Amino acid sequence: MTFQRARSEEQREIRRQAILDAAMAMLDEMPVAEVGLNELSRRVGLAKSNVLRYFESREAVLLELLDGALQTWLAEVSEELAAGVDPRLPARERGDQVAAVLGRSLARHTVLCDLANAQAGVLEHNVSVDVVVRHKRSVIATLGATVELIRRHVPELGDGARTVCMTTLILAGALSTYCRPSASTLAAYEVDPSLAELQLDLRSNLESAVATLITGTLVRSGA
């Protein structure tokens, strides 16, 4: 694909979206660490210098993808929670149902988990203050909507719902890395099956961790 220089705002937006779409396609094929500007430029048919006209770095591209992935997930999980949480149950049981929905949902959104895991240590480096400010504002808005969503189903959490939401996303990112063992590690499990107890399943482990987090928060709040 070869592009001519974008001359209108509409053309620039089309170009930006093409870069984002290509980067997302790469994330479906490889982890964040392997997404590079050279391959991204090749896929969109632009010189690397031209890609940098639209995004100041690869990290800026990935931060915007993280913002979009969070918003997409929020829209989906809202419907899943409405269907998966019974408002007639006690707070503890509703909390377990919320944890089950969150674990199941986030385990499907592997790209979101990968981006979330790289956020603080990688993506928020090599970017300008303006990019970080835009990203943080977007995250605060999405986080606020998620907190209200969780509080709707388990109002007994009170202000603790914010901690539950933030920690759940951090856990999802961290666990996703441990749940994708290297080829050498998988081979080690075959050589010595007793080691396989260290092999984690993202959905079940995240559900368990979030259920424990919600239960602990309910206890601390006196619910």
Nearest to 3 by CA among 52, 55, 46: 46
Give the angle subtended at the CA of 124 by the CAs of 37 and 183, to the nearest 5°.
65
Confidence of residue 4 (pLDDT cuts 50, 70, 90): low
User: In this model, does residue 8 exceed pLDDT 80?
Assistant: no
pLDDT score for 3 = 47
With 60 as the cut, is the pLDDT of residue 59 above it? Answer: yes
Calpha distance 194→196 (Å, rounded) = 5
Give me the mean pLDDT over the 28-53 stretch.
94
- In this prediction, residue 6 carries a pLDDT of 56
Residue 189 is which amino acid?
Answer: Y
Which CATH code, of 3.30.300.30, 3.40.50.12780, 3.30.2320.50, 1.10.357.10, is assigned to 57-221? 1.10.357.10
Residue 56 contacts residue 127 (beta carbons within 8 Å): yes
pLDDT of 166: 96
Torsion angle of the four alpha carbons 201, 202, 207, 210, in this order, in degrees rounded to the nearest 10: 130
Beta carbons within 10 angstroms of residue 171's beta carbon: 21
Distant-in-sequence, close-in-space partners of 50: CB < 8 Å, separation ≥ 6: 3, 41
Does the pLDDT of residue 7 top 80, yes or no?
no
Does the pLDDT at position 81 exceed 70? yes
How do residues 33-44 score in pLDDT, each as one tens digit?
Answer: 999 999 999 999
Residue spans per domain, the chain: 1-55, 57-221
Among 22, 170, 27, 208, which Cα is nearest to 110's?
27
Q: Which tens digit of pLDDT belongs to each residue from 105-164?
A: 999 999 999 999 999 999 999 999 999 999 999 999 999 999 999 999 999 999 999 999
Q: Quote the pTM value.
A: 0.89
For residues 199 and 189, the answer to whether their CB atoms sit within 8 Å is yes
Across the chain, mean pLDDT equals: 94
pLDDT band of residue 1 (cuts 50, 70, 90) is very low
Q: What is the pLDDT of residue 2?
A: 47
Confidence at residue 11, expressed as pLDDT on a 0 to 100 scale: 86
- The full DSSP string for the chain is ---PPP-SHHHHHHHHHHHHHHHHHHHTTS-GGG--HHHHHHHHT--HHHHHHH-SSHHHHHHHHHHHHHHHHHHHHHHHHHHH--TTS-HHHHHHHHHHHHHHHHHH-HHHHHHHHHIIIIITSSS-HHHHHHHHHHHHHHHHHHHHHHHHH-GGGTTHHHHHHHHHHHHHHHHHHHTS--HHHHHHHHH-GGGGGG---HHHHHHHHHHHHHHHHHHHHT-
Of 3-12, 61-70, 150-159, 173-182, the range with the lowest mean pLDDT is 3-12
pLDDT band at 72, cuts 50/70/90? Answer: very high
Q: In CATH, what number does 1-55 get?
A: 1.10.10
